[in-house]
Structure formats: C-alpha cells, structure tokens
C-alpha cells in the first residue's frame, strides 16, 4: 500500500456534500487505510510522475462530486473515449447491466469549466451464496488528463466513502501494479470467480473490514437495485 504525505498527494478539492466525514479521518489517521483518504479543500497541484495518472507538473484543478442524472450523457461519452467500443463486452458489465450503482457511490470529477473529466462507480454484488461486497468500475479519466491525478483522487474518494458507509470489501478487475497502490491484491480472491471470461490474476480485492472476505467463495453475482424503463439504455 502506498503511504503518502499531504505534500505528495495530488491535492483535490472535494465538494462538501460528497466529502467523507471528519469522524472517518479521526478514526483512520493512525491506520494504514489513512493513505486512501482524499485530501480536502485544496486545488489540484503537482504530483509524482511515478504513477499512470499522477504527475503533471501543473495538474489542472478539479473537484469530485456525486454523479447526477444530468451527467449520464457526458459520462457515457467519456467512457467511449477512454475505454473504446468494446467496453461493454467485459465480464464486469454482466454485473452492472440493468442495475443502479450502490447508493451514494457514483462519482464524477469536473474540471474548472464544469466538464466531466473522470468517473468511478461502485456496485452491490454478492459473493457466491455468501456475504455482500462492492464491485468497483469502470474507473475512467479523460485521455488527455491521465497524468493529472484525477484517477487516483477518484479511487481514494470512492474507497473512503465506501468505508464510511459501512461496506466490508471492494472487488475489481484490473492491473495489480496500479490498484495495489490503493491496497488491492489477489490474496483473498482465489476462491472467487467472475461470471464470464477474465484473467484470474486481475481479480483483486480490498477488505475495508478485517475478515470481510473470510470464507468467500463462488461466482460473484449482481445484487444491486434494478433499473427501470429508459434508464436501462442510459446507465452502464
């Protein structure tokens, strides 16, 4: 897990309505999870070029807010630009299709003009016949801003909010060298499977509560709120 000082984090302004509570930070400040908490009330500045989405010498200012109904088209267009036309063929999509994101866990990053330049969502899933968990994804950033710290800020904010809301674990399918910086690993996923083709070593998890994945086994299943009507074609 990556430990960062305040000066090392690409500082991000978080809208007050979507920021984790002060109690969360006071609880975490002496724990390893503290490294994941987003910095508050600062504008994005310089970071380290060591990470895929951090390090522009003059990183643009951005804010992270809860996703709204008016963000759907901008978000879908961003996902098309960032992930390409085959993005809806991934195994993770089977767990998202026809579902709503987990309550309070869909976020966008906006630049100074208000344009959506980043997105992340978390979804309710069930691990086999056992315990509930969250599935993170997709995480996407405007292609021209991938070195601006937007993705890292979205990750830290999403993880911190999931913990604040009392969730026990987050899973995702992604590259361990990148997501390992946020505490994700394949250590607890060997007995779990995605509902479709996937690379087993890329199924990663982060326990927000100790032992949340103990005994978890079987195929991951969708468990979130279902979409109705026109929403089925608009939200993925």
pTM tops 0.85, yes or no: no
Beta strands of 32-154 (E only): which ranges?
62-66, 106-111, 116-127, 132-136, 140-141
pLDDT digits over 94-148, tens only?
A: 899 999 999 999 999 999 999 999 999 999 999 988 899 999 999 999 999 988 9
- 5: helix, strand or coil: coil
DSSP 3-state assignment of 200? helix
Would you say residue 49 has pLDDT above 50? no
* Average pLDDT of the segment spanning 9-31: 34
pLDDT at 46 over 60: no
Q: Which of 124-128, 193-197, 209-213, 225-229 has the lowest mean pLDDT?
A: 225-229
Q: So what's the pLDDT on residue 141?
A: 97
What are the CA-CA distances from residue 36 to residues 78, 217, 236 (Å)?
Answer: 25, 27, 26
Structure-token pair, residue 149: 């710290």
Q: How confident is the model at residue 183 (pLDDT cuts 50, 70, 90)?
A: very high
When pLDDT is averaged across residues 215-231 and rounded to a whole number, the result is 86
Average pLDDT value for the chain: 78
User: What pLDDT sits at residue 86?
Assistant: 80
The answer on pLDDT for 33 being more than 90 is: no
Distance, CA of 207 to CA of 83 (rounded, Å): 27
Burial of 18 (0-12, 13-18, 19+ CB in 10 A): middle
What is residue 185's DSSP assignment? B
CA distances from 170 to 42, 162, 163, 185, 229 (A): 27, 8, 10, 11, 29
Mean pLDDT of 207-211: 97
Q: How many angstroms separate the CA atoms of 229 and 102, rounded?
A: 19
Domains of the chain from N-terminus onward: 13-225 (3.40.630.30)
**Region 140-162 average pLDDT:** 95
Half-sphere exposure of 137 (CA within 13 A, CB side): 23
pLDDT at position 229, please? 63
How confident is the model at residue 80, as a pLDDT?
Answer: 92
φ/ψ of 85, rounded to 5, equals: -70, -15
As a whole number of angstroms, the distance between CA 44 and CA 41 comes to 10
């Amino acid at each position: 897990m990556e430990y960062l000082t305040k000066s090392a984090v690409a500082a991000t302004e978080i809208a007050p309505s979507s920021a984790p509570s002060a109690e969360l930070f006071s609880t975490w400040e002496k724990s390893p999870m503290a490294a994941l908490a987003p910095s508050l009330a600062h504008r994005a500045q310089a970071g380290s070029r060591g990470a895929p989405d951090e390090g522009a010498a003059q990183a643009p200012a951005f804010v992270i807010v809860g996703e709204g109904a008016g963000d759907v088209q901008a978000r879908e267009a961003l996902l098309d630009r960032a992930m390409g036309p085959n993005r809806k063929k991934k195994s993770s999509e089977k767990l998202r299709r026809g579902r709503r994101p987990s309550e309070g866990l869909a976020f966008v990053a906006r630049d100074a003009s208000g344009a959506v330049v980043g997105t992340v969502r978390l979804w309710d899933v069930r691990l086999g016949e056992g315990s509930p968990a969250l599935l993170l994804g997709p995480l996407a950033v405007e292609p021209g801003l991938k070195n601006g710290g937007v993705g890292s800020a979205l990750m830290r904010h999403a993880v911190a909010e999931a913990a604040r809301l009392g969730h026990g674990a987050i899973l995702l399918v992604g590259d361990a060298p990148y997501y390992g910086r946020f505490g994700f690993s394949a250590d607890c996923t060997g007995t779990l499977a995605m509902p479709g083709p996937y690379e087993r070593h890329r199924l990663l998890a982060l326990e927000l509560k100790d032992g949340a994945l103990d005994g978890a086994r079987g195929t991951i299943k969708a468990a979130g709120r279902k979409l109705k009507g026109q929403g089925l074609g608009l939200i993925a």
